[in-house]
Structure 1
Amino acid sequence: MPLYVSIKTNLVLTIFLVGLLGLGLALASTSIYQDVILDYKRQSLVDLVEIKIRDKMNELEEYAQDLGNNLKISTRFRQALGNNDTTALHDALAQQFHQYFVTANILRLERLLVFSPDFEPLAESSAENTSLKHPGAVCPGLVEQAEQRRGAERLKILATLCNNNERPYHAVLLPLGGLNPSGYLEIVTAPTRSLSPIEDELGMPVQFRLPDGELLYRSPQWPESRDGGLVARYRLDTTDHQESALLIEVYDDTRNMYQQLQQTRNTIMLLSAIIIALVTAVALILLRRTLIRPLQVLNSHLQRLHGDNKLLGEPITSRSNIIEVNQLIDDFNLMAGELHNLYGRLERMAYTDPLTHLPNRGLFNNYIDYLLNEYSDSEKRFALFLIDLDEFKRVNDEFGHEAGDMLLCEIASRMNNILRTPTLTDNKGISLVDIANHDLLVRLGGDEFAVVLPDIKSNEQVDEIAKKLTTAARAPITIHKIPVVTRLSIGIAIYPDDSNGRTGLLRRADVAMYHAKNHKLDYCFYHHEMT
């Protein structure tokens, strides 16, 4: 026997199912956005760690070269090498373990070796507490690479990161003598000592592990329980990329961010439930047979939203001559608009730096990829700036992290006032189409920023903007009643002149930035001679 129900019952059942669908959609969407935010946070940390590790490895190589150069100019060492006096060479090498770089814990020196021009071992000296168990070259591949060189190539300094007895070591090979090398000096250090200061620069605890899991170093601030926190892992490979040398882990306390996400999620669910309850009450009170068709339209729209939540802000335009029907449609559009605004806030949180409120690396990457796609079939060009704030570490060390944050925000504000940046509202999602014709200022992390200038007409236009940015940054900033003068180091790469891919542009802009920093320039355009 067929089951017959009233229109009122049908309406109640329909609105109940629609309400469950809307709540399920809100729950699923907020969970997805939460995961996206955490994933972007983790990836941003990994990218930042990679940059800091690269800087520290460069510093380690420079310190090792300085130690080797000081030894090369030593009269005692040169006489011992010229006389082929292995005993005197050993004594000269042993003396280096008492030099400033070693005693001040700037680097952990493990071994020094002197080779003949034919790479025959002449003398060596190791630290008293070294973990090296066997004499001789620590990174044989470095010596083999040096042996294969000919002519002027033999005068170049070589450096490598390798594993020896399952432990990482950094080795630098310097030529001794003039144009015709009279030998070679190998400086072997343990990199963990030089890498540990990244915890102060990141403001987060770190720990280093070997590939087999053995713990080499752990920050005193490393928590016993990591509940409510985010752990980002970065693997540092050997120079030949044949194996991993270190696993570097960084812990970020994300409990406050997670609580904010949960509060936003609860607000969405509560708002959805309240609006659906109001719609149901209005529908039950003002029941009419003519409501069935509008409810079918409403249900159809919700089904579309379930398949594509980007349609959430699209209102229902169907109207009726009955006031009650129009009220129901208006209430639903109100609910959809509120949810759309809340999703826009979540999306903005995922693509915005919480300190400076500038776009972050995630939006930066998406914007670059968007421009590459849009400009691929045209003659349009765009410029990419990588910017480093040179005095940030000094301000952090002298005045504290709060002062460092003030400095970052002030510099970000000054650059933002110069550029044609888009306005990002709290209740609207970020559309690449909407910002396509604007300059984009991004904080990549730490003291690094990036700028994208779309549709540039000439390099002179780029040059003028770079000058304005560096000039604005040099104006004194008052911190704790003390004027502080900062400067920017800017590396510039042009699409498609320097590269037609995001990775290539970033690499070339990075090279140009370090060229500007090393040569005390405000900014520098990339050119092929830098590589």
Structure 2
Amino acid sequence: MNLRLSLADKISMTIVIVGIFGIMLVYYISDSYKQFAYTHHAIAIQQLTRLEIEDLTNELKSNSLDLALAIENETDFKRDFRNKRNNDLTQQLDNQFYQYFVTAGVIKLLKLYILDTDFTLLSVSNEGITTQQDSELICPTLSQQALNRYGSEKLQTMSYSCLYKDRPVHVVLVPFGGLNPKGYIQVVTDLAYNLQKIEQSLAMPVQISLIDDQAIYQSDSWKLTQNNPNYPAIHIPVLSEDNKAIMNISVKPDMTVLNKDVLEHRNWIMALALVTTALTVFIVLLILQRSTIPPLAKIHDVLEKIHVHSHTAGNGNRLLFEQLLEQIIKLRRKYKTSFSVMILDLTHFKNINSQYGKAVGDELLQEVETRLSTILRDSDLISWVGTDTPGHKLLPTDTKTSYRATIARLGGDEFGLLLPSAQSEFQAIAVAERIIEIVNTPFMIQNQTINIECKIGISNYPSHGEDEKVLIRNADKAMRQAKSKNQSIAVFVPDLELLR
């Protein structure tokens, strides 16, 4: 199926395609913006969560310190430590698991240790988690670091987070005995328990998991937001003091408002793009309708009429040819370009009618047009100036330049040719030479060999006239001058001097 589209259709389709690409670009950009916003929002949430982790860890350290100081200030503890009553010290430590800090849920106490100044274990609580050996310390790295301290550094409280049996714990080492420490109380607490408070401080669903992704705490609302695109999970690793991951915290911020804003913004831009595309198509079509399309449409109508009446001659065809010239002149005047007009006359055609009869003469005219058609190819005059209406193109096979031509029979043995692409006399002459070569080849009509010649006159717009009638008249003058000088081709000049 050979689908031909008009200029208006092509421009409209181009604008629509550009509009579609624009809408697709808007969609892509909105998605990219959404991802960009998500990424930066996630970074902000991660930073906020890390700050909360740091605050809660410091709070846990402070509460552990308060617990150690409370133990140190007890009279029974001082007496039992001075008298080295290790069993009684163990009982003192066990009692702390039933005191305020634990019963009120301030901390989740896992183990208590009493160490001497050489960090030798003196006493350990029976309550809390079970260790493999009574002498085993949780997070021994902390004791090793404390042992390497000197002077006033030994008076400072130390803290450390680590994994014990894959469980994240927080250890605080507190010296007791004043400016001359007599020993250390080591408080071991559950780090994950205190970090659960992030749920309240961030007001988001929270999940705390071990490094193997086993969940050890999950908010009630966590599962309610499962597979909800408005609640993307953001993961934050919890690091120890030596930057090793000891557990993971995941939070789900509410992105409903952000998603809604992005969607509304995208829909607004896409609607604007649609309206802009439609408005652009309308404006372009309106401009074409008022400027370019009317003359092109008239040219199309004239070409159709010339095509229908191509086998007839007379004033009707001449009038159509003039109308076609009139419309081409309007376009060329606008774009300030040239074209050429030819008048072709078959010499001694009347003798052929007299010798062979009118039927042979009519058939000869048709054969002449057929031969001219052999160097015409399907294209159109109007495609060169802006649309796709069928016409004729004349293409000399021995030249590199394509000449689009329209042919009309103007009289009994006279043809008019319009060459829009022949913008110079030399281009027009090249076309004329090709026509002479074809027409001067003998014809075989009803078993009769007939030889005929043609003379061609050429005029050029605007140098030889800016009016259709003037151009035709001057081309006709050039043709008659060619006949009088017995030359095949003549180009019009004001004083009728032949260029060829």
- Asked if 1:185 is matched to 2:185, the reply is yes
Distance (Å, rounded) in 2 between the aligned partners of 1:290 and 1:14: 19
- Unmatched segments (≥5 aa) in structure 2: 294-333, 335-500
Listed as ranges, the matches of 1:250-289 within 5 Å are 250-287=251-288
Among 234, 237, 240, the alignment partner of 1:235 is: 237
Query: 1:52, 1:62 → 2: CA distance?
Result: 15
| Distance (Å, rounded) in 1 between the aligned partners of 2:31 and 2:133 | 54
The total of aligned residue pairs comes to 290
SS in 2 for 1:106: coil
The 8 Å contact of residues 106 and 193 in structure 1, kept in 2 or not, is answered as no
Establish whether residue 127 from structure 1 lines up as the match of residue 127 from structure 2: yes
Number of the residue aligned with 1:465: none
Which residue in the other structure is 1:12 paired with? 12
* Superposed displacement of residue 133, structure 1: 4.9
What is the TM-score when the length of structure 1 is the normalising length? 0.52
Query: Match for residue 51 of structure 2?
Result: 51
Which residue pairs with 2:218 in the alignment? 218
- Displacement of 1:169: 0.6
Aligned-pair CA distance for 1:273: 0.9
What is the alpha-carbon distance in structure 1 between the residues aligned to residue 161 and residue 3 of structure 2?
Answer: 78
1:175 corresponds to? 175
Structure 2: how far apart are the matches of 1:25 and 1:248? Answer: 37
Q: Percent identity?
A: 31
CA distance in 2, matches of 1:4, 1:280: 19
Q: Cα distance, 1:5 vs. partner?
A: 6.0
The one-character-per-residue Cα deviations of 1:347-379 (angstroms, maximum 9, x if unpaired) are: xxxxxxxxxxxxxxxxxxxxxxxxxxxxxxxxx
- The 8 Å contact of residues 77 and 92 in structure 1, kept in 2 or not, is answered as yes
1:226-265 per-position Cα deviation (integer Å, ceiling 9, x unaligned): 3121212111111111x21120011123234323322321
In 1, distance between residues paired with 2:227 and 2:68?
A: 43
Maintained 8 Å contact 1:211/1:244: yes
- Aligned mates of 1:289, 1:143 — CA distance in 2: 93
The answer as to whether partners of 1:158 and 1:173 remain within 8 angstroms in 2 is yes
Cα distance change on mapping 1:191 and 1:126 into 2, 3 Å: farther
Q: Which amino acid aligns with 1:121?
A: L
Once the 2 structures are TM-superposed, how far is the Cα of residue 137 of structure 1 from its aligned partner?
1.1
- Does the CA contact (< 8 Å) of 1:113 and 1:123 recur in 2? yes
Residues 287 and 133 (structure 1), Cα distance of their counterparts in 2 relative to 1, 3 Å cut: farther
Asked if the contact 1:206/1:222 (under 8 Å) is kept, the reply is: yes
Alpha-carbon distance in structure 2 between the residues aligned to 1:202 and 1:291: 66
1:469-508 maps to which residues of 2 (within 5 A)? none
Please tell me the residue identity of whatever aligns with 2:112.
L
| Cα distance in 2 between the residues matched to 1:77 and 1:5 | 101
- Deviation readout 1:202-239 (Å, 9 max, x if unpaired): 11121100000111111122224231212121111111
1:77 pairs with 2:77: yes
Distance 1:35 1:22, change over 3 A: same
Post-superposition offset of 1:7: 3.2
Which letter does structure 1 place at the counterpart of 2:105? N
Equivalent-residue separation in structure 2 for 1:143 and 1:169 (angstroms): 15
| 1:156-204 deviation line (CA, Å, top 9, x unaligned) | 1110111111111100111121222211110000012211122112111
Conserved in 2, the CA contact under 8 Å of 1:175 and 1:181? Answer: yes
Query: C-alpha deviations, 1:371-425, integer Å up to 9, x for none?
Result: xxxxxxxxxxxxxxxxxxxxxxxxxxxxxxxxxxxxxxxxxxxxxxxxxxxxxxx
Alpha-carbon shift at residue 284 of structure 1 (Å): 1.3
Inter-CA distance 291–164: structure 2 relative to 1 (3 Å threshold): farther
In structure 2, relative to structure 1, the CA distance for the partners of 1:34 and 1:54 (3 Å cut) is: same
Under a length normalisation based on structure 2, what TM-score does the superposition of the two structures give? 0.55
Q: Distance in 1 between matches of 2:150 and 2:23?
A: 72
SS of match in other structure, 2:288: coil
Structure 2 residue identity aligned to 1:227? N
Relative to structure 1, the CA distance from residue 131 to residue 227 in structure 2 (aligned partners, 3 Å threshold; closer, same or farther) is farther
Q: Distance in 2 between matches of 1:20 and 1:58?
A: 57
What is the RMSD of the two structures over their aligned residues, measured on CA atoms?
Answer: 2.4
User: What are the Cα deviations for residues 59-118 of structure 1, in whole angstroms up to 9, with x where unaligned?
Assistant: 100000000001111111111111111111111111111110011111001111011111
Contact kept in structure 2, 1:109 and 1:127, CA below 8 Å: no
Decide whether aligned partners of structure 1 residues 84 and 290 sit closer, same or farther in structure 2, where only a CA change above 3 A counts.
farther
2:246 is the alignment partner of 1:245: yes
1:15 to partner: Cα distance = 1.3
CA distance in 1, matches of 2:102, 2:292: 84
The 2-side partners of 1:124 and 1:78 are apart by 16
* Matched AA of 1:276: T
After superposition, residues 369-384 of structure 1 pair within 5 angstroms as none
- Change in CA separation of 1:151 and 1:215 when aligned onto 2, cut-off 3 Å: same
Gaps of 5+ in 1: 293-321, 323-531
Question: Structure 1 residues 126 and 195 mapped into 2: Cα distance closer, same or farther (>3 Å)?
Answer: farther
- 1:290 deviates by 8.1
Alignment of 1:419-458 (within 5 A): none
Contact 2:90 2:126 in 1 (8 A): no
In 1, Cα distance between equivalents of 2:46 and 2:112 = 34
| Distance across 1 between alignment mates of 2:261 and 2:223 | 22
Give the distance between the partners of 1:42 and 1:178, measured in 2 at CA: 47
Question: Within the alignment, does 1:34 sit opposite 2:12 as a pair?
Answer: no
Letter matched to residue 258 of structure 1: N
